[in-house]
Amino acid sequence: MKGILPAWARMGDVAADPITHHLYVHVPFCRLVCAYCDFATVGGRAADIPRYVEALRAELARRPAPERLETIYFGGGTPSLVPAAEIARLVEAAVDRWGAAPAEVTLEANPSAREAPDWFGLRASGVSRVSLGLQSLRDPDLRALARGHTAEEARRAFAAARAAGFDNVSIDLIYGIPGQDVAAWREGLRAVVGLEPDHVSLYALQLALAPDEWAAPPRPGALRWRRRMEALQDDGVAAAQYRLAEELLGAAGFRHYELSSWARPGRESRHNSAYWARRPYTGIGAGAHSFDGAGRRWWNHRGLDAYLDAVESGASARAGGEELDEPTRAFEAVALGLRRVDGLPRERFRTEFGVDPLERYADAVRRGAANGLLAVDEEALRLTPRGRLLASEALLGFLPGVPADAVPA
């Protein structure tokens, strides 16, 4: 069987079926908005949750339901602020719309006692996977991030999810936190491994604003906090923390399958794997993006009120869109393919773009290989362990319009 599938169809369960579709549901509500957060979120608007859920249902009813729904992902924001009964109604609406239950339904949850969801209700709602925003199991790190929970609350939330029957729990961690040295990171990571989660995602604390984020910068106080904290960050420590995570999580039986993601066998995120394989998805809710799996991407109004006004007046929630040209599509295929530890399948790229990536990007590949960032074999082009630390540099030479010699030697 394996031999008659194209290589891109062997990338994992999600991409093995070329007719799958994926639904992202954005929930922008948070109890408080964290100073380092770049997501579309609002604080102190929990009273609008019922109205928002109605808007999501209305938007879903108006959107096409193509192919077979494989996954649903409730992301945010803090989706665990939405009552379990409302999550159940949303899952049910999606199942009705597509005519079948998806294989994976993930919901992001915060561990603070004040935001504790009804775990048993959530389990009964159709959610099969929980992504817990622990960030750290050390109180000094949580205080540095001004998170609203303690390490003890994080442990309790994990135990509560397990007690309710969730056998697929992912933990999000942040590294590169000022004041968190390598020994502290090791201690926190060991504590996380001790909880025996099914999946771990690691995110570097990103405090510098990307150029496009200056269009809607964070509030002045948050900006000052970010600048102060950024001055205390140390790239060398962050790199050592990432390497240590590769070592410790690997030794604990987790497979590193994507730049930021480790999973026990069979516990890889099917939803996120669909993004990295450039599968089509529908995004509903404020600021949610959708992609047709080829070259068209569009997005909803980011502001909560603009989104609610549009949907409630019967108008489209769509705020904009773009048609990706061929060089951009090819670059995205490389950028997302290289996120996977197994790399960019050369055959899939050839099938879509008519040329081997090694030929199309000969200079970038040669320079990347020469400086130890890229490795190549018959099947794939992939980042080396050093390349995983310097992924942005490794990608520079593939950018449309950027000369390959821009890649640092």
Q: Report the nearest approach of ligand SF4 to the CB of residue 150 (Å).
A: 15
Among 7, 10, 12, 33, binds ligand SF4 (CB under 6 A): 33
- Report long-range pairs for 312-320 (Cβ below 8 Å, ≥24 apart): 312/55, 312/58, 316/62, 317/59, 317/284
Least CB distance to ligand SF4 at residue 139 (A): 17
Query: Based on CB atoms, which residue is closest to ligand SF4, 25 or 30?
Result: 30
Cβ 282 vs Cβ 291: under 8 Å: no
10, 12, 13, 37: residue in contact with ligand SF4 (rule CB under 6 A): 37
- Residue 188 or 287: the one with the smaller Cβ distance to ligand SF4 is 287
| Residue of 10, 12, 13, 39 interacting with ligand SF4 (CB under 6 A) | 39
* Site stretch for ligand SF4 (CB under 6 A), options 27-35, 52-60, 235-243, 361-369: 27-35
Structure-derived torsion over alpha carbons of residues 38, 174, 45, 213, reported in degrees to the nearest 10: -10
Task: Report the run of H or E that residue 344 belongs to, with start and end.
Answer: strand 344-345
Nearer to ligand SF4, 39 or 353 (CB): 39
Q: DSSP string covering 183-242, please?
A: HHHHHHHHHHHHH--SEEEEEE---SPPGGGGGSPPPHHHHHHHHHHHHH--HHHHHHHH
Q: Which stretch binds ligand SF4 (CB under 6 A): 30-38, 54-62, 83-91, 195-203?
A: 30-38
Distance CA 370, CA 360 (A): 17
The angle formed by the CA atoms of residues 329, 215 and 297, to the nearest 5 degrees, is 25
Which listed range, 29-37, 85-93, 179-187, 284-292, lies at the site for ligand SF4 (CB under 6 A)?
Answer: 29-37
Give the nearest distance from C-beta 36 to ligand SF4 in angstroms: 7
C-alpha torsion 250→102→173→41, nearest 10: 160
Asked whether position 41 contacts ligand SF4 by CB under 6 A, the answer is yes
Q: Considering the rule CB under 6 A, would residue 34 count as an interface residue with ligand SF4? A: yes
Q: What gap in Å lies between CA 232 and CA 218, rounded to an integer?
A: 19
> Contact region for ligand SF4 (CB under 6 A) — 36-44, 56-64, 124-132, 312-320?
36-44
Site size toward ligand SF4, by CB under 6 A: 11
Identify residues 74-103 at the interface with ligand SF4 (CB under 6 A).
76-78
Toward ligand SF4, which CB reaches closer, 200 or 334? 200
CB of 190 to ligand SF4, least distance (A): 24
Largest CA distance in the chain: 58
23 touches 73 (CB < 8 A): yes
Q: Which is nearer to ligand SF4, 102 or 133 (CB)?
A: 133
Phi-psi category of residue 401: left, alpha or beta, with phi > 0 → left and psi -120 to 50 → alpha: left
By beta-carbon proximity to ligand SF4, the closer residue of 37 and 324 is 37
Where do contacts with ligand SF4 occur on this chain (CB under 6 A)? 30, 33-34, 37, 39, 41, 76-78, 110, 133
